[in-house]
Chain A
Amino acid sequence: MKLFTTLLAATAIVGAAGMASAQANPAVIFDLGGKFDKSFNESSYMGAERFREETGIDYAEFELQSDAQREQALRRFAQQGANPVVVAGFSNATAMNTVAQEFPDTNFVIIDMVVDQPNVRSVVFSEHEGSYLVGILAAMASKTGTVSFVGGMDIPLIRKFSCGYVQGARSVNPDIGFIQNMTGTDGSAWNNPVKGGELTMAQIDAGSDVVFAAAGSTGLGVLQAAADADILGIGVDADQNYLHPGNMLTSMMKRVDVAVYNAFSDVNNGTFTPGIQVLGLAEDGVGYALDEYNEDLITDEMKAAVEAARAGIISGDIMVHDYMSDNTCPEE
C-alpha cells in the first residue's frame, strides 16, 4: 500500500512536471560578479524577480564561481528542462554556442554578446546611445571644459561607451577636452578601485571635472575619488546616483532587468523569438538616471537638451557612431 502511494505521488509529480513544461520554466545564470553586485547581475536578478511577482512562476538560478562552470551550468539547466535559460555576460558566448547546439529545443538568451544559433536570442544594448546622453549632461555640467572617462578592461564594448560619451559631449561643445583611461587589459581591471581612483586623480589634475566610470568595481574607486575632490561622477549599468549624492551627475542605465524579464515572459506567452535583439533608447533599454539624488544637478536646460537628443536619436535625426561597428571612433 505504501509503495502504491509512493508510486502515485511520483506519477503526480511527473504529471505536474509535464504540465509545467507547457509554460515557462525559466532559469537565470549570474556571472562572476555575483548576484548582488549592485550592477549588472543584480539587474538581471531584479528582472527575474519581477517576472516571479507578476506571474507567480518560480525560476531556477545559479551563481557562477569560476570560468570552468559556464558550460556546465548551461548544460545542467538545459538537461533539467529549463526554458528559457538566460545568462548575462559576454564571457559566456563560447559556452552557449556549444550547449545551444546540443539542446535545439531549448530557448537560450545571452545578454551583451551575439551567439548565432537558431534557438538563441542575443540581447545587445545600444550603450553608445545612452552614453551620448550622459555625454551631453557632462559637457553642460563641466566648468573647466574638460570631461573624462575611466574604463575597466580595454575591450571594444567599453570603447563603445567611451565613444558615445565623447560624441555626446562634443555635440554640445565641439572644443571640449576629453581624457580617456583604461584600467588594464585583463580581468583584474574590473576589480582595481585603487587604480581607478589614481586614474581619476590624474584626470582631475589634467583639468577634468566630470568623470564617467564604466569599470565594474574599479568604478567605485573612480566615483569615490570624484566625490573626494568634489567634482562630478557618472555611474554605469544600474542607477548609482545614491552612492555620493551631490557628486553624482547621473548614471548611464543599462536595463538588463528588462532583457531578462522580456525573455521570461516571451517564452511564457509563447512569443519567444531567437536572433539579435537590440535594446536602445527607443526600447528604454538604455537611458540616464534622474532621481532625488541628482535632481538639483540637472537643470531644466540640461534636461531639455538631453530629451531633445533622445528624441533625435530615436527618430534617426542624430546618428551616434557605434565603436563596435568598425572599431574606430570619429572623436578623439
Chain B
Amino acid sequence: MELLQLMDSALRLATPLLLAALAGLFSERSGIFDIGLEGKMLAGAFAAGAFATFAGDPSYIGEYWSVPIGLGLTDPLKIPLGSWGVWSVWIGLGAAIIVSIILAMIHAFASITLRGNQLISGVAINFFASGTTVLVAKQWFAMGGNTPSLDGSQRFSTITLPGAEAAADIPVIGPIYEGLISGHNIIVYAALAAVPLSWWVLFRTRFGLRLRAVGENPGAVDTAGISVVKLRYSAVLIAGLLCGISGAYLSLGTSAPGFSPEMSAQRGFIALAALIFAKWSPKGVLGAALLFGFLEAIGNKYQSIDIGAFVIPVQFMQALPYILTVVILAGFIGKAIPPKAGGEPYVKER
C-alpha cells in the first residue's frame, strides 16, 4: 500500500518533468539545445494562472475581460466574458501554450535565424521569465507575485476512470487500478500518452526522420533539398507547446492554487538531466522522469531514511537525480551521446 502511494505521488511529480523532457527531446534532436525549458515552464505557469483567473472570475475585472496591453497609454483591450467561466482552465492552458511558444520562437529566432549561441539564448529566456512573471503578476494582481487562489473550474479536476470503484476489491489489480492509475487529472494522462506519440512522430514518420537527421547532419538534409531552418523551427515550436502544458500543469493541475513566484523550482533543469539520463530517447525519457519523480516522492515521504547502520539524509535523495546524470555523463553506465550537430548553428556555406 505504501509503495502504491509512493508510485501515485511519483506519477504526479514526474508529469511536469516528462512533458518538459519531451520538449527538450524534440528541440535537441533537431540540433537546438534548450536550456530555457525552465523559463518556458515558469512563464507558462504564470500565463495559465493569470488567464484562468481572468476567465473564471468575471467579478475580478468586470463584465469585460480587459487585457491591459495599452499599459495605460491607450484603453485596455476589452473582450466580453459571457459564460466562459466553465472553460477557464482550458483558457489558462491555451494561454500557457501561447506564451511558452512565443518564448520558444524567440529562442528559435536567436539560435536558428541569427545563429546565436543557443545556451546563452536559453539562459536569457530563464532570466527573462523569472523576472517578468513576478513583475507582471504584481502589476495585475498586487499579491506579491502570486495569482489569486484558483478553485472549481479554474483547476484541472481529477478523473476517476470507469469502474475504478468497483474494481477496488479485486486483489492486486484492483488497488493498482483504483489507487495508482485512476484519479489523476487529464494532464497526467496526456503526458503519458505523449510518450508513445513522440516516439511514433520521431521514429515512424518522415517528419521525424528528417528532424533527427537535421540534428545529426544538417548538411546532408540540406543537400536533399529539405529546409533545415523550417525543420528546426517546427521542432522548437513543439518544444514550446510541451513546455506550456508542463507549466500549466504546475499552476492548474497540482495542489498549488495558482501561480507563485519561481514555482517551477528548477524542474526544467531536472528535466534536462532526465533527457541526458535517457540518452535522448522517448522511452528513456519516460523511465528517467518516473525514476526522478519516484526519488522525489521517496524524499517527500521519508525525509531521512534510517537503514540501520546509518541515516541517509534527505538532501542526498534530492541530489540523486543530478548525481545519476553525472554518473551517466562520465560514462559509468553506458554512454550518453548527444545529437552530433547539437548546439551548432547551421551555416549553409562557410
CB distance from B21 to the nearest CB of A (A): 17
How far does the alpha carbon of A193 sit from the alpha carbon of B259 in the complex, in Å? 9
How far does the alpha carbon of A38 sit from the alpha carbon of B263 in the complex, in Å? 17
Interface size on A, residues (CB 8 A): 36
Which candidate, A97-105, A133-141, A180-188, is the interface stretch facing chain B? A180-188
How far does the alpha carbon of A222 sit from the alpha carbon of B16 in the complex, in Å? 19
CB distance from A153 to the nearest CB of B (A): 13
Which candidate, B88-96, B97-105, B205-213, B295-303, is the interface stretch facing chain A? B295-303
Residues from 305 to 326 in B contacting A, C-beta threshold 8 Å: 315, 318
Which candidate, A11-19, A29-37, A159-167, A282-290, is the interface stretch facing chain B? A29-37
Q: Known contacts A205-B5, A220-B260: does B144 contact A36 (CB below 8 Å)?
A: yes
Task: Report if A304 contacts B (CB, 8 A).
Answer: no
Q: Which 6 A-B pairs have the closest CB atoms?
A: A197-B255, A37-B144, A34-B144, A193-B256, A225-B255, A217-B260
- Whether the Cβ atoms of A195 and B144 lie closer than 8 Å is no
Task: Report if A243 contacts B (CB, 8 A).
Answer: yes
Q: Known contacts A197-B255, A198-B255: does B261 contact A191 (CB below 8 Å)?
A: yes
Task: Report if B117 contacts A (CB, 8 A).
Answer: no
> For residue A193, which residues in chain B have a CB less than 8 angstroms away from its CB?
254-257, 260, 263
> For residue A36, which residues in chain B have a CB less than 8 angstroms away from its CB?
138, 142-144
> For residue B265, which residues in chain A have a CB less than 8 angstroms away from its CB?
188, 191-192, 194-195
CB distance from B42 to the nearest CB of A (A): 11
> For residue B256, which residues in chain A have a CB less than 8 angstroms away from its CB?
193-194, 196-197, 220-221, 224
Task: Report if B227 contacts A (CB, 8 A).
Answer: no
How far does the alpha carbon of A181 sit from the alpha carbon of B304 in the complex, in Å? 10
- Whether the Cβ atoms of B146 and A38 lie closer than 8 Å is yes
Task: Report if B145 contacts A (CB, 8 A).
Answer: yes
Residues from 220 to 234 in A contacting B, C-beta threshold 8 Å: 220-225, 228
B positions within 8 Å CB-CB of A? 2, 5, 9, 12-13, 16, 138, 142-146, 149, 250, 254-258, 260-263, 265-266, 296-297, 300-301, 303, 315, 318
Chain A: CB-nearest residue to B150: A224
Excluding A34-B144, A191-B265, 5 further A-B contacts by CB distance (< 8 Å) are A191-B262, A193-B263, A194-B16, A195-B300, A220-B256
> For residue A184, which residues in chain B have a CB less than 8 angstroms away from its CB?
318
How far does the alpha carbon of A225 sit from the alpha carbon of B263 in the complex, in Å? 16
Residues from 170 to 229 in A contacting B, C-beta threshold 8 Å: 181-182, 184-185, 188, 191-202, 205-206, 217, 220-225, 228
> For residue B315, which residues in chain A have a CB less than 8 angstroms away from its CB?
185
Q: Known contacts A34-B144, A191-B263: does B254 contact A201 (CB below 8 Å)?
A: no
How far does the alpha carbon of A37 sit from the alpha carbon of B318 in the complex, in Å? 28
CB distance from A219 to the nearest CB of B (A): 10
How far does the alpha carbon of A34 sit from the alpha carbon of B256 in the complex, in Å? 19
Task: Report if A294 contacts B (CB, 8 A).
Answer: no
- Whether the Cβ atoms of B255 and A196 lie closer than 8 Å is yes
Task: Report if A44 contacts B (CB, 8 A).
Answer: no
Task: Report if A241 contacts B (CB, 8 A).
Answer: no
> For residue A192, which residues in chain B have a CB less than 8 angstroms away from its CB?
263, 265
> For residue A126, which residues in chain B have a CB less than 8 angstroms away from its CB?
none
CB distance from A215 to the nearest CB of B (A): 11
> For residue B261, which residues in chain A have a CB less than 8 angstroms away from its CB?
191, 217
- Whether the Cβ atoms of B149 and A34 lie closer than 8 Å is no
Task: Report if A265 contacts B (CB, 8 A).
Answer: no
CB distance from A226 to the nearest CB of B (A): 9
How would you classify the secondary structure of chain B's contact residues: helix, strand, loop or mixed?
Answer: loop
How far does the alpha carbon of A228 sit from the alpha carbon of B256 in the complex, in Å? 11
> For residue B142, which residues in chain A have a CB less than 8 angstroms away from its CB?
36
Task: Report if A41 contacts B (CB, 8 A).
Answer: yes
> For residue B12, which residues in chain A have a CB less than 8 angstroms away from its CB?
198
Residues from 25 to 57 in A contacting B, C-beta threshold 8 Å: 33-38, 41-42
- Whether the Cβ atoms of B257 and A33 lie closer than 8 Å is no
5 pairs of residues in contact across A and B, judged by CB atoms under 8 Å? A36-B144, A185-B315, A188-B265, A206-B301, A217-B146
Q: Which residue of the partner chain, among A33, A194, A228, contacts B144 with CB atoms under 8 Å?
A: A33
- Whether the Cβ atoms of B144 and A38 lie closer than 8 Å is yes
CB distance from A28 to the nearest CB of B (A): 15
Q: Known contacts A188-B265, A193-B263: does B5 contact A224 (CB below 8 Å)?
A: no
How far does the alpha carbon of A53 sit from the alpha carbon of B138 in the complex, in Å? 25
Q: Which residue of the partner chain, among A34, A188, A191, contacts B138 with CB atoms under 8 Å?
A: A34
- Whether the Cβ atoms of A202 and B144 lie closer than 8 Å is no
- Whether the Cβ atoms of B301 and A220 lie closer than 8 Å is no
How far does the alpha carbon of A269 sit from the alpha carbon of B260 in the complex, in Å? 40
CB distance from B247 to the nearest CB of A (A): 11
Q: Which residue of the partner chain, among B149, B263, B300, contacts A202 with CB atoms under 8 Å?
A: B300
How far does the alpha carbon of A202 sit from the alpha carbon of B301 in the complex, in Å? 6
> For residue B9, which residues in chain A have a CB less than 8 angstroms away from its CB?
198, 201-202
CB distance from B236 to the nearest CB of A (A): 26
How far does the alpha carbon of A223 sit from the alpha carbon of B4 in the complex, in Å? 23
- Whether the Cβ atoms of A200 and B145 lie closer than 8 Å is no
> For residue B262, which residues in chain A have a CB less than 8 angstroms away from its CB?
188, 191
CB distance from A139 to the nearest CB of B (A): 22
- Whether the Cβ atoms of B297 and A198 lie closer than 8 Å is yes
Chain A: CB-nearest residue to B256: A193
- Whether the Cβ atoms of B263 and A37 lie closer than 8 Å is no
Q: Known contacts A36-B144, A188-B266: does B260 contact A198 (CB below 8 Å)?
A: no
Q: Known contacts A194-B263, A198-B9: does B255 contact A41 (CB below 8 Å)?
A: no
Produce 1/0 per residue, A55-94, CB < 8 A to B: 0000000000000000000000000000000000000000
Q: Which residue of the partner chain, among B138, B144, B318, contacts A41 with CB atoms under 8 Å?
A: B144
How far does the alpha carbon of A206 sit from the alpha carbon of B103 in the complex, in Å? 41
How far does the alpha carbon of A181 sit from the alpha carbon of B9 in the complex, in Å? 16
> For residue B145, which residues in chain A have a CB less than 8 angstroms away from its CB?
33-34, 37
- Whether the Cβ atoms of B300 and A199 lie closer than 8 Å is yes
Most chain B CB within 10 A, of A191, A223, A225, is at A191
Chain A: CB-nearest residue to B262: A191
How far does the alpha carbon of A144 sit from the alpha carbon of B274 in the complex, in Å? 39
- Whether the Cβ atoms of A243 and B255 lie closer than 8 Å is no
CB distance from B252 to the nearest CB of A (A): 11
> For residue A200, which residues in chain B have a CB less than 8 angstroms away from its CB?
255
